[in-house]
Structure 1
Amino acid sequence: MMRRVLLIVAALSVAWLAGCASSEKPKPTPLEPLTPQIGGRVVWNQRIEAMQFPLSVAVSPGVFTVAASDGTVLALEADTGRELWRGSAASKLSAGVGSDGRFAAVVTREGDLVTLEAGRVLWRKPLSMRVNTAPLVAGERVFVLGGDRTVHAFDALDGSKLWSVQRPGDPLTLAQGGVLAAFKDTLLAGQGSRLAGFDPLNGELRWEVTVGSPRGTNEVERLADLVAPPARVGDVVCVRSFQAAVGCVNAERGTLSWTKPVGGTDGVAADEQLVFGADASDRLTAWKTPSGDVAWQTEKFLYRGLSAPLSTPRAVVFGDAEGIIHFLSKDKGETLLRLSTDGSPIATAPVVSGSTMLVVTRNGGLYAVRPE
């Protein structure tokens, strides 16, 4: 019970600090005039209920799976926006959706893990814990990262619990989506400022690497949880430690490649050359993937409320608090294209399936974009 109280206090404290920061934040930097350097357009859009939880969008071949705050779960054909199926968890959600294309899993505010297949609820399992991170569905298993950093594995077919691992951690944890991902035959999970690799069959810890060093004078300021989304480039996984660092880990060997102390609250994107991210003031930085050295920085988006980024072959893409999608050159950070949505903040990092990119706004707008 005490741990649950502390977790709630953490959520309230972070929300209070965020509110104070937003009230004191300078006005967003005006956007410079732009002559588009590449083509791109919105090819379809849909709408779901407004987002009130740490959002994620699940991507499987040719399919985007999204979930709304009211419990609606929706699978859309990536190329056309055609609805493939629709289901409901029958309760409001606390985190986004995870899906492998067959099964989709969400967690309700009451702490129930709900797994669906083709829109039909297969099973419902009480977790008795807070969850802010979307479940991971892989290998006919559903993995859950609890707000207390415990990791749980369930059989996707019937919901039977396979294993659970509780790691020692700080009394306060971040009320934001964390890192939970698959790497080859290893399950990756963020546990505080550490990235841990587990055997997905039995939960055995294979390795763990510290990415960020918590800083501050109190426990709220020292929150340094790894935040979503992570970025994978071959054997390397790059992550952000909340308000502490950006770093890359060789997930094959379980070793730290590099880490750089830098503030920031959202995840990163990467390719073989560069890792991209925005700090707490929305200063954009590109670090060299092999070394962590700074390749370039730009301050032309300061205080615009940038989302986590997406790296595509032609550009790095951010959304902002005014619902604008920014396409930037990867070598210099120059603006190549802007596209508008519904004027509400972009709620999460853009995702891509094939040639179609999806952005989701806080008001529930789904905008599929195709660069040309």
Structure 2
Amino acid sequence: MIVFSNLWARWTVMGALALTIAACSSAPDKPQPAALPSVTGQLTVQKVWTNSIGLATTPLFASVHGEQVAVASTQGQVALINASTGQDVWRIKLDTPIQAGVSGDGQRFAVITRSNEVVAIEAGKVVWRYRLPALSYTAPLVAGARVFVLTADRAVTALDGASGQKLWTQQRTGDPLVLQQAGLLIPFGDTLLAGWGGRLASLNPNTGAVRWETLVGSSRGTNEVERLVDLVAGASRLGNSVCVRAFQSAVSCVDANRGTTLWTRPAQGHEGLDGDDNLVFGTESDSKVVAWQRQGGQPAWTQDALRFRGLTAPLVLGRSVVLGDDKGWLHFLSRQDGQPLQRLSTDGSAIVGKPVAAGQTLVVVTRTGGVFGFRPE
């Protein structure tokens, strides 16, 4: 393994020889994080509950379903939590570690294990398992009584939600170098949107037929790192506009009905996006927070007071943009101009995945397994 940084971003060459390149953690000249900025205090947020799930060191994300949130740990725990109270609705311990997840539709939930199995769970019990032919780092998508999976060989597979039977597989060939972090797989109306390398593809969820493809990010060089342009998990959707990030390459908004690019801007980030009617928000790899105009893509503001703090993808919540960092801090920035409004602590370990909002509660998960509920006033 060749180490380049402390990010979850890793790359794998598929085939007989697997080359994994992870980004920069042990570099002796790693930049020091910026001092914590002062906050205006114009926003009041209270910690209302805590829970725990277990160590989270793989690409795991919380999944929101009304007032409930599903969380998972690398060690194999999956729990559905009432976001109002912080109490478990149900909890299960699988017999194998979890590689990616969790996702669900409120009734059926799914994760992918390190042994390449999709595991479907209902009411805290395993209902079926399906073995994949390749690794996957992306949470399954549970929608329309089906479970969709994006594997590292750039194949999308649809499984029947009730039985786990394979319905179809669609694969795009290309550069064998893929990102070892969660990729893009989301619903859009009656369409399935998937990231294939630097392309965004629209698939018919019933058959897997490709409706359109559009280029988001292009290779920038000749070495493996510069060629990697996979689309990352976390998109901002508003009407027909879907805004996505190509790893360390670009941010782009696409008309998802027609498959046409509305705008593209260079961007050096590896986390997903969020947005509102006017702006799209993202964090660069040096932890600058950037807001782009949703119409046209012009930069609206940049906040660099959190540089090198290992920020998560942003969450738009009320008048704030919420981000976690690798020291367990939760930062609230103004949507209007990026000014720091509030800051809260968790347990001192990195906040993993994107903060989520379930009803009136903000929920975050930390690397050591803390699950925290906050409520803005």
TM-score, length-normalised on structure 2? Answer: 0.94
Q: Residues 256-278 of structure 1, C-alpha deviation per residue, up to 9 Å, x if partnerless?
A: 11110111111111111001111
- Residues 285 and 297 of structure 1 are in contact (CA less than 8 Å); yes or no, is this contact kept in structure 2? yes
Describe the superposition over 1:152-205 as per-residue Cα deviations: whole angstroms up to 9, x where unpaired. 000010111000001112111000000111111001111111111111011011
Q: What CA deviation, in whole Å up to 9, does each residue of 1:240-289 have, x standing for no partner?
A: 10000011111122111111011111111111100111111111110000
Matched, 1:56 2:61: yes
Partner of 1:3: 14
| Per-residue deviation, 1:216 | 2.4
**2:312 is equivalent to residue 307 of structure 1:** yes
The aligned amino acid for 2:99 is: S
Shift of 1:90: 1.6
Q: How is 1:1-372 mapped onto 2 (pairs within 5 angstroms)?
A: 3-6=14-17, 8-9=18-19, 12-13=20-21, 15=22, 17-19=23-25, 23-372=28-377
Instruction: State the AA in 1 paired with 2:261.
Output: L
Q: What percentage of aligned pairs have identical amino acids?
A: 47
Letter in 1 for 2:71: V
1:220 is paired with a residue whose SS is helix
What is the CA-CA distance between 1:214 and the residue it aligns to? 1.8
Q: Is the 8 A contact 1:97 1:135 kept in 2?
A: yes
Contact 2:51 2:87 in 1 (8 A): no
Whole-angstrom CA distance in 2 between matches of 1:89 and 1:102: 18
User: Is contact 1:87-1:120 (8 Å) kept?
Assistant: yes
SS at match of 1:41: strand
Secondary structure of 1:347 counterpart? strand
Task: Give 3-state SS (helix, strand or coil) of 1:173's partner.
Answer: strand
Return the alpha-carbon distance in structure 1 between the equivalents of residues 28 and 270 of structure 2: 17
Q: Which has the higher helix share?
A: 1
Going from structure 1 to structure 2, the CA distance change for 1:280 and 1:23 (only over 3 Å counts) comes to farther
Offset of residue 52 of structure 1? 1.5
Whether the 8 Å CA contact 1:53–1:96 is kept in 2: the answer is: no
Task: Return the alpha-carbon distance in structure 1 between the equivalents of residues 106 and 151 of structure 2.
Answer: 23
Residue 39 of structure 1, CA deviation: 0.6
Quick one: distance in 2 between partners of 1:358 and 1:229? Answer: 16
* Separation in structure 2 between the aligned mates of residue 219 and residue 51 of structure 1, nearest angstrom: 27
Q: How far, CA to CA, are the matches of 2:368 and 2:14 in structure 1?
A: 33
SS where residue 178 of structure 2 aligns? coil
CA distance in 2, matches of 1:216, 1:369: 43
Flag structure 1 segments of 5+ consecutive residues without an equivalent: none
1:360 counterpart letter in structure 2 = V
Distance 2:16 2:269 in 1: 26
Aligned counterpart, 2:10? none
| Cα drift, residue 5 of structure 1 | 3.9
In 2, distance between residues paired with 1:138 and 1:60? Answer: 12
Output the amino acid matched with 1:221: E
Give the conservation status (yes or no) of the 8 Å contact 2:199–2:217. Answer: yes
8 Å Cα contact 1:89-1:108 kept in structure 2:
no
After TM superposition, give the deviation of residue 222 of structure 1 in Å: 1.3
CA deviations 1:297-322 (Å, max 9, x no partner) are 12111101111100122111111111
List structure 1 runs of 4+ shifted beyond 6 angstroms.
none
Q: Which amino acid aligns with 2:158?
A: A
Structure 2 distance, partners of 1:141, 1:106, is 14
Per the alignment, in what secondary structure is the counterpart of residue 221 of structure 1? helix
Provide the rounded CA distance (Å) in 1 between the counterparts of 2:121 and 2:207. 24
Contact (CA 8 Å) 2:40, 2:340: kept in 1 or not?
no
CA contact (8 A) 1:149 1:191 kept: yes
Q: Distance in 2 between matches of 1:23 and 1:232?
A: 40
- SS in structure 1 at match of 2:25: helix
Displacement after TM superposition at 1:24 (Å)? 2.7
Q: CA–CA distance in 1 between the matches of 2:203 and 2:318?
A: 31
Offset of 1:220 from its aligned partner? Answer: 2.5
Aligned length: 365
Give the superposition deviation at 1:235: 1.5
Q: TM-score, normalised by structure 1?
A: 0.95
